[in-house]
Structure 1
Amino acid sequence: MNLPAEHPLNTGATGASLLVLNMRGHRTSPLPVWFMRQAGRSLPEYRKLREGIAMLDSCLTPELVVEITLQPVRRHGVDAAIFFSDIVIPLKLAGLDVDIKPGVGPVLENPVRTKEAADALRLIDGDAFAPITTAVGMLVKELASTPLIGFGGAPFTLASYLIEGGPSKELPHSREMMRNQPELWAQILNWCADITAQFISAQVVAGASALQVFDSWAGRLSPDEYETFAKPYSERLFSQLALLVDKDGVPVPRVHFGVGTESLLESMHEVGATVMGIDSNTDLERASALFTNKVPLQGNISTELLTANWETLAEHIDEVIASGLNAPGHVVNLGHGVPPETDPDVLTRITEYIHRTTT
C-alpha cells in the first residue's frame, strides 16, 4: 500500500530524520534516542492531565492523545514521538468488553476460550479508527520533522490477554489451548494478527513514519514453542505491514521488540522485522553478530541503572553505544519501558548526553 502523497515520508519531512535514517541502515552522527513508555507515568504533567480520566478514554480522545504524545518530546528533546495508546485498543475497537484497570492492566470480562466465542470475533470497522487517525493527523502537523512511531502488540501477546482475561505470568489457559486445541489457537491468533495489522496500518497511513510491534510475553516461550505457536502469526502480521511503502517503494521501518527474548531474536527477525529491539539482557554486539551486522538495532540502556549516580549511568551509556557500533544503524533506547518512578530529568540528561557524545 503506497502511503499518501502528503505523508511525512513522502514530503521529505521525516525521511532524513535521525530515527528513520538509522532504522533504514544509515548510521548518523549524532545517534537518535527515544524511550519506550516515554509518554506516561514518569511525567508529572502526564499524571496531572490523566487525573480522573480512564486509560481507555485517554487513548480514544484525540486531544488527550496528542498532548500526552507530545509531552516527552517537548521535555526531553527526543528524536521521535511514539503514539500514545495501548496494545489492547484493537480489541476495544473490535467491540470486545475490555478495560484497563490501574495497577492491574488490561482485563476482559469475557475471555475468548471457545470456538463459539472465536467465531463471533469480527475485524474492525473502518469508521472505528476515526479517533486514531484524527490524533495521528494532528500529531504529524505538530511534530513537523520529528517522526511519529506507530505501534501495536504481537499476536501472541494480544491473544494472551484475550484468552487469559488479563495479565498472567503462567498463561495457563493459553498453554492449554496451544497444546489441546491447536485449530482454535490458530483461529484466534490469525484474528489478532489481522486486527493489529489494521490498527498499525491506520496509524502509518495517517502519518506515522515507523512502526514497532511489542511481543511482551514472547519471552515466556521456548524457541520451539515460539516457532510453532507464535511465529506463524507474527509473520502474518508483518507480511501485511510490509505492504506499507513510501513513494519510492521503500518500506516503512518495522521494529520488533520483546523482553527476555535473546534465544528468540533470530526467529523474531525472520518474521519480517527490519529493525530489532534488544532488551538489557542481551549485549548489542552479540545481537548484531546474530544478524551478521546487517540489521539496525534499537536499545538497550538498562532501566535498573536509571536511579544510579550519573557517573555510573554515563559509563553504562558509553558501553551501550560502543556495543552497537557494528550495526548499520543504532536507535538508542532503553531495554524496557520507562519505570513510573523514573526522575524525568534523568531522561532529559541521557538524551542530551547521547546527542553530545555521538556527534
Structure 2
Amino acid sequence: MGADRAASGSNGEAGKQLRSMEGGERLLPKGFPRLKNDTFLRAARGEETEHTPVWCMRQAGRYLPEFRETRASQDFFATCRSPKLCCELTLQPLRRFPLDAAIIFSDILVVPQALGMEVVMVPGKGPTFTEPLKEVEDLLKLRQKWTLMSYMIEGGGSTTMAKAKSWLYRHPEASHRLLRLLADVIIDYLVGQVAAGAQALQLFESHAGHLGPELFQDFALPYIRDIAQAVKSKLKEEALPLVPMIIFAKDAHYALRDLAHAGYEVVGLDWTIRPQEARAQIGKDVTLQGNLDPCALYAPKEKIGELVKKMLESFGTQRYIANLGHGLYPDMNPEHVGAFVEAVHAHSRHINKHS
C-alpha cells in the first residue's frame, strides 16, 4: 500500500535518492565530479567491497539539531521545493558521519501534490490531506495519473489503515485504477531522479504488514514489479544509467521470495526477521539491506557495537548493505548514530581481513 520514495546514491530523505560517496565513474552523470566512495553502489550490484557500506533511513532528519534549526523557519513542503535547502539538509549527516550514501531530502507526498491534492504538515500530527479521497468519484478530481494510496484515502497517518483497506474490498477496480495511476507517476518520478543525478533508487511499501499475503499479491506486488520493469526500460530508452534499485516492504516476511524476483538488485529488511531466514528465502543473487532494530540505538555505545557485530556475522559482509530496519527516530542521540556507522565499518573490515 505504499508505492513511492526513491533512493539514490547522493543526497536526501523521503522521496528518496541515495548517491554513493566513493570512487568509480560507471554511473556518473555528465558534469558530476568523480566519486570518492562507491562502496554502496558496488555492494548493491553484488561486487566485492572492502567494508560493508552503511546508510540510515531518515538520516536527514529531526534527530540532528542542525536539521531542526534549518527547518524551523520554513514550511515543510516549501523546503522540499528549495534546491538550496534540500542540498543543505542532505549534506548535514555527511558532515557528522562517514556514511556511504546520502539521501536526497524530499517527501513522497510531493506526488499526490503533483496530482492536485492539498497536503499540509500539521504540527504534532504530521502530513494531512485537507480533502482525502472518500468515494470512487473523487478519483476524477486527480489531474492524471500505496503508502501513497493509504495516505490519500486515510487523509493522514493511521494505525489500522481501515479506510484504505476498505477500498480494496469494496472498490477493487477503483483501487487498481488509483494504484495504476500512482505507479505511472512514480515511474516518471524515479526516471526523472536518475536524469537529475540519482545513482540508486529505493521504493518503499511501508504498509505491507497491513495487507497480508492475499492483498499484497493482488494490490501491491504487481505494481512493485511494474515499477522496476518500467523504470529500467525507460532508463534504457533515454540512454540514462541503469542504476541499482532497492525494494523495502516493511513487515512483508510472507513475500520475500516474490520480492527477490520482482526486478530489484537489493531487498531491504525490517528488524523482525532473522538474517539467515531472509537469505534462505531470497537466495544469493540479491543484495540484502537492513535490519538493526532502530530502538537498538538507544542502547549504550558498547552494546550498539555488539549488536552490529552480531548482525554482520549473520548477514556476512558481502552482498550486504547495513541499515536500520526502519528510520531513525527524532529523539535519538546523534552520537549513537555515529557509533552505529563506525561499528559497521570497523567490524566489517575486521571480518574481511580475517576471512
- Do these two structures clear the TM 0.5 threshold for a shared fold by scoring above it? yes
Name the residue aligned to 2:183: 193
Correspondence 1:78 to 2:68: no
Deviates further, 214-223 or 14-23: 14-23
- Is the partner of 1:39 in helix, strand or coil? coil
Query: In 1, distance between residues paired with 2:236 and 2:331?
Result: 38
| Structural mapping, 1:273-288, within 5 Å | 273-288=264-279
Name the residue aligned to 1:92: 113
Query: In 1, distance between residues paired with 2:246 and 2:93?
Result: 20
Letter in 2 for 1:29: E
- Is the partner of 2:113 in helix, strand or coil? helix
Correspondence 1:204 to 2:194: yes
Query: In 1, distance between residues paired with 2:237 and 2:342?
Result: 31
Query: In 1, distance between residues paired with 2:144 and 2:104?
Result: 22
How far the C-alpha of 1:316 sits from its partner, in A, is 0.7
- Is the partner of 1:78 in helix, strand or coil? coil
- Is the partner of 2:259 in helix, strand or coil? helix
Name the residue aligned to 2:9: none
Say if 2:195 and 2:240, in contact at 8 Å, map to a contact too.
no
How far the C-alpha of 1:7 sits from its partner, in A, is 5.9
1:207-266: CA deviation from partner (whole Å, max 9, x where unpaired): 010000111111111111100122122222222222235999973111111322212222
Match of 1:171 among 161, 165, 171: 161
Say if 1:288 and 1:294, in contact at 8 Å, map to a contact too.
no
Q: With the length of structure 2 as denominator, give the TM-score of the two structures.
A: 0.84
How far the C-alpha of 1:23 sits from its partner, in A, is 0.2
Name the residue aligned to 1:68: 89
Say if 2:90 and 2:102, in contact at 8 Å, map to a contact too.
yes
1:319-342: CA deviation from partner (whole Å, max 9, x where unpaired): 1111111x8511111111011111
Question: CA 1:280–1:159 in 2, change beyond 3 Å: closer, same or farther?
Answer: same
Match of 1:299 among 276, 290, 302: 290
Question: CA 1:15–1:76 in 2, change beyond 3 Å: closer, same or farther?
Answer: closer
Query: In 2, distance between residues paired with 1:344 and 1:245?
Result: 40
Query: In 2, distance between residues paired with 1:59 and 1:301?
Result: 28
Say if 2:309 and 2:343, in contact at 8 Å, map to a contact too.
no
Name the residue aligned to 1:350: 340
Name the residue aligned to 2:127: 106
What is the aligned-residue RMSD (CA, Å)? 2.4
Correspondence 1:8 to 2:28: yes
How far the C-alpha of 1:33 sits from its partner, in A, is 0.8
| Structural mapping, 1:193-342, within 5 Å | 193-243=183-233, 244=235, 251-325=242-316, 329-342=319-332
Say if 2:266 and 2:286, in contact at 8 Å, map to a contact too.
yes
Name the residue aligned to 2:15: none
| Structural mapping, 1:149-168, within 5 Å | 156-168=146-158
How far the C-alpha of 1:160 sits from its partner, in A, is 0.5
Letter in 2 for 1:171: M
| Structural mapping, 1:2-41, within 5 Å | 8=28, 13-14=34-35, 17-41=38-62
Say if 2:187 and 2:231, in contact at 8 Å, map to a contact too.
yes
- Is the partner of 1:276 in helix, strand or coil? strand
1:283-321: CA deviation from partner (whole Å, max 9, x where unpaired): 222111112222101111221111112222111101111
Query: In 2, distance between residues paired with 1:282 and 1:80?
Result: 24
Query: Matched residue pairs, number?
Result: 323
Say if 1:218 and 1:261, in contact at 8 Å, map to a contact too.
yes
Query: In 2, distance between residues paired with 1:329 and 1:102?
Result: 40
Identity, % of aligned positions? 33
Correspondence 1:120 to 2:141: yes
1:108-148: CA deviation from partner (whole Å, max 9, x where unpaired): 11112333321232347xxxxxxxxxxxxxxxxxxxxxxxx
- Is the partner of 1:8 in helix, strand or coil? coil
Q: With the length of structure 1 as denominator, give the TM-score of the two structures.
A: 0.84
Query: In 2, distance between residues paired with 1:272 and 1:121?
Result: 29
Structure 1 segments unaligned to the other structure (5+ residues): 125-155
Query: In 1, distance between residues paired with 2:26 and 2:344?
Result: 32
Query: In 2, distance between residues paired with 1:6 and 1:264?
Result: 32
Question: CA 1:57–1:248 in 2, change beyond 3 Å: closer, same or farther?
Answer: closer
